[in-house]
Each structure stands twice: as structure tokens, then as C-alpha cells.
Structure 1
């Protein structure tokens, strides 16, 4: 068992997991109609590739990946496409549940490119909440050396029991999915981090460990404390590695996946099954039959909760996610998406309205519970004063928005709301600055290209004039000397620009899944165009140089 280290802060809110973890995992009834939003992942929305009236099967591609950070979308029921809009696709079911699967792949012998393409075409994203496209995350080894895969089974937030039930029922399959990622990324070890309040899942993992090969797997049972499931906190707890400010786990050689994502990866590779359903925790005092269900994507939240015995008279609000980091749903007609891991149908007594905010009394409680060792009090003041330089100096973007500070604040200040608004404002400023810098670079690149073309024209003109003045019996000199060195430098610079644009795009998408990536995608596309032009120029120059050197 791996050694457990520690991270600062943390809190111990009521777990309230017993209502949903006492029942067996079951299939939710097949919906008669589904509504599938095109934005169910970080990055760009998927692009529809079907029209109203088209017949589809379960697993048919209905929207394709758009841009670098994006993910495909598949029909979750068989039937007929009834509506295609700019934001969603609606399918009316035929009740037949006819499937369209991809061919099975043996990941042990399959080519790496084939497995990566399978993850891409299966539409798999991180099911822990962020929704980052898995095929992009699996390619991180192209830029970073990964030595450890962490299976994040901590599931520290109250109410949620998705990972617990996933491991109880499918521990062997989760570990096999981990071996697929381990092979793709060349990791040396797999470490499972799970809190000690999941004894049945721990037992299931212990039984599955002997069958998990070829990368060794360690099981680390850690004490229950919120937010031990944060990536940085779990990496510190398991490996005693600090992820530096402004960097991602991959920068220190670690990759994190949750059990649900690993199970989806196995289903896609081994069974050819795209992501069309997921496990959702249904809980809260307003439903009579809490538990975990396999739910088809696009199912109405209202329909799902009614199947679980929703008492609409007692219902106060429905939270998607957990009580600490989740968000209230404005309407029950919202569909289940790839990011829906928990639905809490709460009564007013269960989730009473927040008390009125009072002035900060400088008690320091928020600082003592911060798992990132920030200074929430100072961040609060600077956020409200919009002192963005100081916010960045005090590492605002290291905040994981866990809500621990707000939870203990005796003045009931919505600290996380302040931080979230400040982050959005600063990100917008960064994007505007990046757009201006991008426009400047494009202008400079165009000016340099025009100057180079004009110089080449002038050189050719002078060469023709010199040739016309030269006597016929004197052989003409070879064509203009090719500047291979300069072209190689330009090609290397263009290649570096593409890598930088890709890294920036991936980082922003992981830091803020809701952030618009249009401008960053445009910058990447421009960098890729410049690289293609540089490659073409270099290839032509090499060919010309070779012809000049030949006798």
C-alpha cells in the first residue's frame, strides 16, 4: 500500500452518502425521447452531422468533433432525429434500442494510433466533472514524460456515490481501462486513491488487484476529508509531489482519471461502445427511491427523478453535482449530459437559503481550511476591488473553487462566487491581450512575407538582366543561392508556435471547462497554416538546392 502524505486545510462536512449507496446499481428505463446538447465537454461544441428526419441507432454519430479541444456526440437511443438546432439535437425513440457498435479492439496488441482514434471517435470525456476530451488527455505523453497514473476514486464530496458503486460492480474492468491508459502513456505505476468510507469498493479493488497486469497497481486507502479528491491534493496525499502554481499534473509526470472514465474507455476499446450513457447518483430528501442508475444521455432530469419517486410538493431545488461544487438547475427539463454525475432533489430543510452576508470579521477560518494554502480573505478584498494584479500575485488561479472557505465563513460571505467572477474577468482580459498579440504577429508575418517575395522578384529580375548582357558563349550561373539555414530556422519557429498554441489551448480548457476557446482555436489554426507554408517552402528549397548541387 502506498504511503499517505498530506495537504493543508480541508473540512469534514456531513457525508450523506448512505441514502444512495445502499441500493444496487440498476438501469434506468429507456427514455422515449432524448435531447442531446452539443456542448457536453470542455472546448468547442460538436458540429451536427444529421438532419431532422434521419433515422439513427444507438451509437450513431450525430455530431462531430470541432477543433482541437472537442468531442463527438452519439445517439443514445434508436429512432428518428426530430430537431437539430444550434445548441442541441432531439431524437424521438422507436423503442427498439437498436445498436451500432464499432469493431472490437484488443488493446494489448493494437497500434497506439488505433486506440487513440477509438477514444476520439467514441466521444469519451472525463466523467468526474470537467469533461476534458479523453483522446486529448491520452496524447499528453507527446509533450510530457508520464510516470504515474492516479485513479482518483476519493469521491470526497458529500452525497455523490457514483465511483463507489462503479468500483463495487466493475473493479476489474476499471483496472483494465487503467491498463489501456497506462500503455498509451508509458506509465511505470498505477496508484488508486480511495477514501476509507467506501469499504465495499475497497474490498472489490483488493480482489481485482491480482488480475491487473502488466503495469503494477498500488491501492492507497486515505482518510475521509474534503477535498481530498482534488487532483493536486490527491497527488500530494499519494505521491508527496507538489504540482507547482500555474502548472498541471502532467507537468510533474502524473495523469489522473476517475473510475467512470476508465470504465468508458474499456467499453469503447473492447466492446466498440461509444459514450451514450453514464452512472448518475439520484439522492436528496425529495425522492423516495434514491440510488445509482445507468442513464442514457439526453434523458430529462424531470423524467429521471419522477422514476425515483420525486415528491414535487417537498422539492425546494435540484443540485447537479455535489452540495459543495454543484450548481442549482433552473428547470427540471434539463437533460442528463456527460457531465451529470449526481442529482440532489433537496427539500428546503435540507438546503435552506443562505443567511444574509455580513462584513468580514477577519477571523482567519477561511485561511485555515484552504487546501491550496491561499489567503482567501485577501483574495476576497482584492476581487471586490478588482485589483487584478494583486489577485494574480496571490495566486487566484490556484483556487480549485472547492467551497471550503465559504463553508466555514461565519459571515456567510460567498467567497467562491467572488473568486469565480474575478477569474472570468481576468481570463477575458488575457484573451483580449492574446488576440491583440496574435493580430500583431499576423501583421508582422505578412509584412515579412511580402518583403521576402519582393526581394525574390528583384533578385530574379537582376539575374535575367545579367544573363541578357552576358555573351552567349559564357555559361549562365546557377540560380539564386537558396537560404536553407534561414528556412530551417523559420520552420523550427513555426513548429514551436504550433506546440505553444496547442499547450495553451489544452491548459485553458482544463483550467476552465466553460471558457470560450474560439480565439485560441483560431490562433492554433493560424499557427498550423504557417507551419504548412514553412514546410512547403523548406521542401521546395531543398529540392532546388539538390538540383544545384547535382552535376
Structure 2
């Protein structure tokens, strides 16, 4: 076992992975109908490009990315488009599954631009749960120097065994997908981080690594502990690097991807196969045939669980994701999406409701298990008091919402729920602050533009007077021109800084907080970019005008 560093806290909840990891990977039946939500990724929803009644093939683009952070959506079956709305697209199957694919690419010889275009076209997003578009994440090399690609195979959440089965069946393919990403981001080192509760996957990876690899590759087996699969926690565990609270892994030269994302990357590049299906863990004591299945996107959760032997009378709730960070489904009439990695059909005894909340007894258990070394008890008090200044001071946004504090709380206080609500309130305040800053920049730019225009008018008036009287007005004209140009330079610098700030904010929020809407942040970036273009144009116009002003001043 390779040497591992450590992060604070962590817990050891029951793993409950045995029910779904005992059988081989299966393929779910082809659905007769799929419902494909337009929002299956971080950022803005995709925009439909098909109409009701249109025939489509498996793999056809049915919705295109919209905005900076978005992703294409493809038909997961062949058939007829029966509904197109602002929310989703419905396709009825023709039973043929006739598909279309893009041409195969040899990633060894392909240019980076070709690979990025392929990832963009294929609609691949992070399949570990965050759903960040991979073509955006692959461009990180434009802003950061990346030295290490981490394959996050920890899969620390109870019940979920998607990555385990992926690595058992496709170890070489996952490694090849990692090499594609490493080529794009310039990483010279690939590290696989996996918990020691996956012996079959570990053995499969060891056999695959024995084959000669063009990039240095290392397998690190770490002890099982939740939440070792968090990006910051795993980077610390594997590389002893600390990612700043307001930063990204790229800031320390690291990029993280999970095995499913890398497998999808290889399929897109080598096979021309867009993202139309994914592996989903089906588990819980309310189904009789648990396991992992390849499932077409848009498949009904109700139909999928029925095929796995669902017992409706024993069912208490279905959780999408794991019990620590997942969400209970309000209805089973929900489709499988790119973000669906696990469905837990739990009985009442298996995952009973939380007991009633009691007052905090100040035991300190929450502090001892926090993987970010926060003070959950103080954060709890300040969230209830809505003391936003103290929440900022105690680093609320460093919380990764893993649920470890809530899990150990003897008073059953829903700490994570409180933190999420407080974060949402603070985010809205931050967005309003950023909007105000943009409004200020627009006002300053407008004032500078009006001042320049007035200076130009005054310069022309002075030039005409000087020509008629043949008297110099150089001092007035020069003063007007200098003040105007200086103001435009200040406005241009402010607009440029505003764009950089908006880009950094958007990237950080998009990667760190999968559940945060990005519409306002993308709008702010677009506004800042428009302001910068206008400032550049006005500054160029003013610089062109300077020689004309000088010439007029030199007239006899």
C-alpha cells in the first residue's frame, strides 16, 4: 500500500455495498419511451433543436448547449419526438435502436482542438454527481499549469458501487480515457485513488497498469473512510496538497475525474459515441434483484426499479444518490439523467426518518468528524441567528455538505439543511453585490463616454474658433483630450478587471457547488464582456481622435 497523507475528521457509516456489488454488470432493457430533461448538467439548460413529430436516431443531437457552461443533449433511443417543451423532450421508441456516431479519432495524433470539439459535441459531463461539462473542465490548462490528473475512484458514499463495477469491467478503458484528458491538460502524472474495500477493482487496475503506459501512472489504495472521495480530501490524502477554501484543485496543479467520466471520454473519442447511457447502481432492501446496469438516459425510474424486482408494499422511499448526500425522489415518474449514479429503494427499517430535533448539548462530536476542520456547532448557532458576518468569518462556504456532522449529532439537528439554507441566502446577497458592481462599472463607463464626446465637441468648436481668429487654443484642447483619454483608460481597466472577476466566480461556483443555479453569474459575465468590448472600442476611437486633435491644434 502506498503512503497516504491524511485529512481531518471523517466517519465510518455502514457501507451497505454488498447487495449491489455481488453480480456482474447488466444491461437494462431498451425503454419504450424516454423523457430527457434539458437540464442534466451544471449551467444553463440546453436549447431544443428538434420538433414534435420528427424522427431521430440514437445519438442524434436533440438539444444544443446554451451559454458558456452548458452541454449538448442526444437522443438515447431511435424513434419519434412526441413532445418538446422548455423543460424536456420526449421520444417514443421505434424498437429498432438505429444509431449514428461521429467518426473515430486517434487521440494519440489528434490535435487538442479536435479532442475538445469532440468532447463538446458528445455532451459529456462529470458522472460523479456534479455534472460539470467536461469540455469546459478540459480547458483549465488555458489558465493553470496541471501536473497531475487524479482518478477519483474512492466512491466513499454508502450503497453506491458504480465506480467499483466500472473499474472491474473496464480498467484499461478508464486508464486510456485518463490519458486523453492528461494529454489535453498537460499532466505528466496520473494517480488513481481507491479505497481498500474494492479488492476486485484494485486487482483489475493492477493488471491493467502492467501494460506500458505513455504517461506515468500510480495506483494508491487508501483506507475506507467517508468522505475520502471529496476532491479536497482526496488530493490531500494522495498528494499532501491543500486546496484553498476559495480555490480550485487546478490552483495547485491538479485535475480530478471519476472513472465513469473517463470511460465516456474514451467512448466519445475512440468510438464516436455521445453520452446516451450510463451505469446506475440499483440497490436497497425493497428490490429483489440489486446490481449495476447500463441504463439509457431518460428511462423511467419506476420502470427501472420494477425490472429490478421492486416490492411497492415494502418501499418507504427512493433516494437518488447515496443516503449521505443524495436526495429523496418525490415521485417515481422521474427519468434517469446524466447525474443519476444510484437509486436506493429503501424500506422503513432500512432508512427510517430522523428522530425529532433536540437542543444542542455542546458535545463537540460534529467538530471532531468535520473533514474540513470547521466548527459546526458555532455555524449552527449563527445560521439560526442569521448572523451572516459570523458565518462568513467561520468559513461556511468551506462546508462540502457531506453530512458527517448531522450523522453523529446525538440531538439529531439537521445541520446540513441549516447550512444549505444559509448558503443560499448569502449567495443571493453576493449576486446582488456583484450586480451593483456591474451597474457601477456601466455608470462609470457611460460617464467616461459622455465626457469624451463632450471633449470632442469642445475641441472641434475651439478649432473652428482658432482658425477664424488665428489664435492658439492648444492648452484648452490638450487638457480636454488628456482628461478624456485618462478617463477611458480607467474605465477600460475596470471593465477588464470585472471580466476576470466574473470568470473566476463562475468557475469556482460551478465546480464547487453543483446545486447552485448559474444563470445570474453567466449573465454577469456576459454583461462584463459586453462592457469590456464597448470600453475597448471607445478607447480605440479616442486614440484615433488624438492625432486629429493635435493636427487641428497646429493649424495657423
Alignment of 1:533 with 2:530, yes or no, is: no
- Per-residue Cα deviation, 1:80-126 (whole angstroms, up to 9, x for no partner): 11111111111111111111211222222212122112111211111
- Specify the SS of the correspondent of 1:21: coil
Please, what is the CA RMSD of the aligned residues?
Answer: 2.4
TM-score (norm 2): 0.93
- Specify the SS of the correspondent of 2:35: strand
* Distance (whole Å) between structure 1 residues aligned to residue 38 and residue 214 of structure 2: 38
* Cross-structure match for 2:46: 46
* Distance (whole Å) between structure 1 residues aligned to residue 87 and residue 163 of structure 2: 30
Alignment of structure 1 residues 186-205 onto 2, 5 Å: 186-205=186-205
* Cross-structure match for 2:513: 512
1:548 Cα deviation (Å)?
A: 11
Alignment check: 8 A CA contact 1:383 1:418 kept: yes
* Distance (whole Å) between structure 1 residues aligned to residue 486 and residue 388 of structure 2: 44
* Distance (whole Å) between structure 2 residues aligned to residue 176 and residue 461 of structure 1: 70
* Cross-structure match for 1:287: 287
* Cross-structure match for 1:346: 346
Alignment check: 8 A CA contact 1:69 1:506 kept: no
Alignment check: 8 A CA contact 2:441 2:494 kept: no
- Per-residue Cα deviation, 1:352-382 (whole angstroms, up to 9, x for no partner): 1211111111111111111111111111111
* Cross-structure match for 1:474: none
* Cross-structure match for 1:213: 213
- Specify the SS of the correspondent of 1:95: coil
Alignment check: 8 A CA contact 1:43 1:513 kept: no
Alignment of 1:360 with 2:360, yes or no, is: yes
1:323 Cα deviation (Å)?
A: 0.8
Alignment of structure 1 residues 245-284 onto 2, 5 Å: 245-284=245-284
1:386 Cα deviation (Å)?
A: 0.8
Range 150-159 or range 249-258, more displaced = 249-258
**Residue 155 and residue 546 in structure 1: after superposition, are their counterparts in 2 closer, same or farther (change >3 A)?**
farther
**Residue 522 and residue 75 in structure 1: after superposition, are their counterparts in 2 closer, same or farther (change >3 A)?**
same
Range 328-337 or range 540-549, more displaced = 540-549
**Residue 538 and residue 98 in structure 1: after superposition, are their counterparts in 2 closer, same or farther (change >3 A)?**
farther
**Residue 548 and residue 426 in structure 1: after superposition, are their counterparts in 2 closer, same or farther (change >3 A)?**
closer
1:70 Cα deviation (Å)?
A: 1.3
* Cross-structure match for 1:112: 112
- Specify the SS of the correspondent of 1:183: helix
1:188 Cα deviation (Å)?
A: 2.2
- Specify the SS of the correspondent of 1:160: coil
Alignment of 1:329 with 2:329, yes or no, is: yes
1:415 Cα deviation (Å)?
A: 1.0
* Distance (whole Å) between structure 1 residues aligned to residue 491 and residue 421 of structure 2: 41
Alignment of structure 1 residues 37-186 onto 2, 5 Å: 37-186=37-186
Alignment check: 8 A CA contact 2:286 2:311 kept: yes
Range 426-435 or range 160-169, more displaced = 426-435
1:466 Cα deviation (Å)?
A: 3.8
Alignment of structure 1 residues 18-33 onto 2, 5 Å: 18-33=18-33
* Cross-structure match for 1:477: none
* Cross-structure match for 1:388: 388
Alignment check: 8 A CA contact 1:172 1:212 kept: no
- Per-residue Cα deviation, 1:15-44 (whole angstroms, up to 9, x for no partner): 111110111111111111011111111111
1:539 Cα deviation (Å)?
A: 5.7
Alignment check: 8 A CA contact 1:43 1:514 kept: no
Alignment check: 8 A CA contact 1:3 1:239 kept: no
1:255 Cα deviation (Å)?
A: 0.9
* Cross-structure match for 1:36: 36
* Cross-structure match for 2:502: 501
- Per-residue Cα deviation, 1:304-350 (whole angstroms, up to 9, x for no partner): 00111111111111000001111100000110001000000011111
* Cross-structure match for 1:7: 7
* Distance (whole Å) between structure 1 residues aligned to residue 265 and residue 457 of structure 2: 55
1:178 Cα deviation (Å)?
A: 0.8
* Cross-structure match for 2:525: 524
1:531 Cα deviation (Å)?
A: 2.9
Range 300-309 or range 50-59, more displaced = 50-59
**Residue 460 and residue 271 in structure 1: after superposition, are their counterparts in 2 closer, same or farther (change >3 A)?**
farther
- Specify the SS of the correspondent of 1:19: coil
**Residue 55 and residue 464 in structure 1: after superposition, are their counterparts in 2 closer, same or farther (change >3 A)?**
farther
Alignment of structure 1 residues 224-243 onto 2, 5 Å: 224-243=224-243
1:4 Cα deviation (Å)?
A: 0.4
1:268 Cα deviation (Å)?
A: 1.1
- Specify the SS of the correspondent of 1:11: coil
* Distance (whole Å) between structure 2 residues aligned to residue 210 and residue 537 of structure 1: 60
1:138 Cα deviation (Å)?
A: 0.9
**Residue 49 and residue 546 in structure 1: after superposition, are their counterparts in 2 closer, same or farther (change >3 A)?**
farther
* Distance (whole Å) between structure 2 residues aligned to residue 198 and residue 418 of structure 1: 34
- Per-residue Cα deviation, 1:36-79 (whole angstroms, up to 9, x for no partner): 11111111111112111111111111111111111111111111
1:500 Cα deviation (Å)?
A: 2.2
1:394 Cα deviation (Å)?
A: 0.8
**Residue 300 and residue 544 in structure 1: after superposition, are their counterparts in 2 closer, same or farther (change >3 A)?**
same
Alignment check: 8 A CA contact 1:37 1:87 kept: yes
* Distance (whole Å) between structure 2 residues aligned to residue 516 and residue 467 of structure 1: 61
TM-score (norm 1): 0.94
* Distance (whole Å) between structure 2 residues aligned to residue 497 and residue 169 of structure 1: 47
* Distance (whole Å) between structure 2 residues aligned to residue 261 and residue 385 of structure 1: 41
Alignment of 1:413 with 2:447, yes or no, is: no
- Per-residue Cα deviation, 1:121-179 (whole angstroms, up to 9, x for no partner): 21111111111111111111111111111110000011000000011111111111111
Alignment check: 8 A CA contact 2:459 2:549 kept: no
* Distance (whole Å) between structure 2 residues aligned to residue 249 and residue 328 of structure 1: 30
1:493 Cα deviation (Å)?
A: 4.9
1:541 Cα deviation (Å)?
A: 6.7
Alignment check: 8 A CA contact 1:280 1:294 kept: yes
- Specify the SS of the correspondent of 2:81: strand
**Residue 118 and residue 433 in structure 1: after superposition, are their counterparts in 2 closer, same or farther (change >3 A)?**
same
Range 458-467 or range 26-35, more displaced = 458-467
Q: State the 4+ residue runs in structure 1 displaced beyond 6 angstroms.
A: 480-489, 541-549
* Distance (whole Å) between structure 1 residues aligned to residue 496 and residue 113 of structure 2: 21
1:253 Cα deviation (Å)?
A: 1.4
